[in-house]
Homo-oligomer: A and B are copies of this chain.
Amino acid sequence: MYPNWILQRAQLTPARRALSFEEQSWTFEELKNISVKRATQLTALGIKPKERVAILGPSEPSLIFMMYACMHLQCEMVMLNRKLSKVELQYQIEDAQVEKVLVADEDALLLPDIHTPIVFSAVESTVGKSLEISKEWSLDQTVTIMYTSGTTGLPKGVRQTVGNHQASALASVLNIGLSEEDVWLCTVPLFHISGFSILVRSLLYGNAVKLYKKFDKDQAALDIAEGQVTHMSAVAVMLQRVLQELEDRGLEASPKFKMILAGGGPVPENYIKRAHRLNLMVSQTYGMTETSSQTATLSNEDALRKLGSAGKPLFFNQIKIAGVASPGEMGEILIRGPHVTPGYIGSFSERSSTVDGWLHTGDIGYLDEEGYLFVVDRRSDLLISGGENIYPAEIENVLLSHQAVGEAGVCAIDDETWGQVPVAFIVLKEDVREDELIEFCKERLAKYKVPKYFHVVPNLPRSGSDKLLRRKLKDLLN
C-alpha cells in the first residue's frame, strides 16, 4: 500500500510552496485543502469514487485542483488534449466510455456537442458533500489515461497507474538528484505526460512547480537567468527559443538553475552546444506516453561527450535492441520496467502493451559500447512536431474520407522551427482545391496535424503486398 500522494505530502511538508502561477502561490497544505474541497463538490455533482472521467482545460491552477480532486476520488482521468478537433475529442470520449466530462469554462466550446459537460465554475460553486478520502492507493490503480496513436492511426487510451508514475518519479530522482529548493518550470501541457509528470514529481519530492498558462520565451529566459526556477521540461522548439532569447539579451543561466530536461523528439546538437555556452545544462531524454515519461536520460556530465544520445536507462528500467548481438547494431528499441503501462482501455483493451514484459516501441536505435542509447529513426508511423506526436495514418484516414481523394500518404519533412511537419501525397479521383482540403482537415484534426503541403501524384510507392511505403514518400519530392 502506498499513500495518497497529495495527503501525504501535505502531512509531511504543509508549509512548503507547492505551486506558483502569475502572482499567486499555494502551499502543499493549501493545495490539499482546495483539492479535498473540490472532491466533495464533485461528489455532490454525482461523480463517484473510481469512476472514469474526462478532463479538459488550460494549464491553470484550477485544472490542477480539479485533477487532484479526481485523484482523491481515485477516478481514472482521461486527459483530453486541448489542441484536438471536436471529432478527435469525441472519438476519445466515446472510446473511453466516460459519463462525465469536466471542462474549464474557457474550453467548453472546444468540446463536441455531447451530453452536457460539467464546467469548472459549476463545480466550484457547488456545496460539497462530505466524503471519506482514501489515505492509501494501490500500485495498480489507474491515475491517468492518455491517448496516443499507432500504425492504424486509431488513438489508443494508455493507462498510467500509481505504480507507473511513482516508479518514473523515483527513477528520475536517482538520476538527477534532489534538493528542497528545486523549482520545476512547467510550460508543457499538463494533459501530456511531460507536464503531468512534473506534478507527480512535485508531490513525491515536495518541491514547487512554477506554472505558465502558455510557453513564454521571454519569461522563461528571465526565470532561468534569475534562478527563479531550477529545472524545466522542454521540447526542442522551446529550447531554441529560450536560447535565442538568452543570447539576444546577453544573459546566461543562473548558477542556481540545474537543467532543462529536453524530450519529445530529438534535440539538434547545435542547441546543446549553444546551451552549454550559456551555462545551461540540457539533458536529453527519451520517453513516451506508454512509459509515463522518461525511460532514458542523458546526464549533464555526458551531454557533450555523448552528443546525440538519449543517455542510459533510469535506475529501474531496462532497454534492449531487438535481435542484435553486439553494441552499435541497430534494431527496434524495447523497454521494460515498472514504469511501462499495463495496457490500454476502450477498443484496444484486449491488446497487450508488452511482449514477454517488453514494450516494443517501433523506434529504431542502438546502444553503444558503454550502454548509451542512440535513437536513430523514429518509427515511420510517427512524426513529432514541436513535441506533439502525429500519426500519419490518422491524417491519411481523414484525407481518404474526402470524396476527391483516391489514395493518401503522409510523411514528415524537416522543419527548422518544429523539428518535423507533416506533408501529404495524394492521388485524386476528381479535382479539388487545396484550401478545400485544408478546411476539411481542420474540421477533423488538430491544427498541428494539418499537412503543410499537399502534393498531387499519379501513384504512391507501395510494397508488393500493396502496403504504403511511407519512408519512400519523400523521394517523390526530388
Question: Which residues of A line the B interface, CB within 8 A?
Answer: 1-3, 8-9, 11-12, 14, 135, 170, 173-174, 177-180, 204-206, 312-313, 315-316, 318, 336-338, 357, 370-371
Contact = CB atoms under 8 A, between A and B. Distances in A.
A174 B205 contact: yes
Given A1-B336, A3-B315, A3-B318, A180 B177 contact: yes
A12 B2 CA distance: 27
Nearest to A312: B12
A177 B174 contact: no
Contacts of A318: 3, 135
Nearest to A12: B312
Nearest to A176: B178
Given A11-B312, A12-B312, A312-B12, A1 B338 contact: yes
Contact of A316 (B3, B179, B337): B3
A61 to B, nearest CB: 24
Contacts of A370: 14
Contacts of A174: 173, 178, 204-206
B315 A12 contact: yes
Contacts of A8: 315
A135 B371 CA distance: 15
18 contacts: A1-B336, A1-B357, A2-B338, A3-B315, A3-B316, A11-B371, A12-B312, A12-B315, A14-B370, A170-B170, A173-B173, A173-B178, A174-B206, A177-B177, A177-B178, A177-B179, A177-B180, A178-B178
Nearest to A182: B177
Nearest to A136: B318
Contacts of A173: 173-174, 178
Which 5 residue pairs across A and B have the least CB separation, nearest first? A177-B178, A177-B179, A178-B178, A170-B170, A12-B312
A178 to B, nearest CB: 5
B3 A204 contact: no
Nearest to A370: B14
Contacts of A2: 316, 338
A204 B336 contact: no
A351 B205 CA distance: 36
A39 to B, nearest CB: 20
Nearest to A169: B174
A240 to B, nearest CB: 28
Contacts of A337: 1
A135 B316 CA distance: 11
Contacts of A316: 2-3
Contacts of A205: 174
A171 B370 CA distance: 30
A402 B82 CA distance: 81
A427 B174 CA distance: 57
A178 B205 CA distance: 11
Contacts of A12: 312-313, 315
Contacts of A357: 1
A204 B338 contact: no
A258 to B, nearest CB: 10
A194 to B, nearest CB: 21
Nearest to A318: B3
A173 B201 CA distance: 13
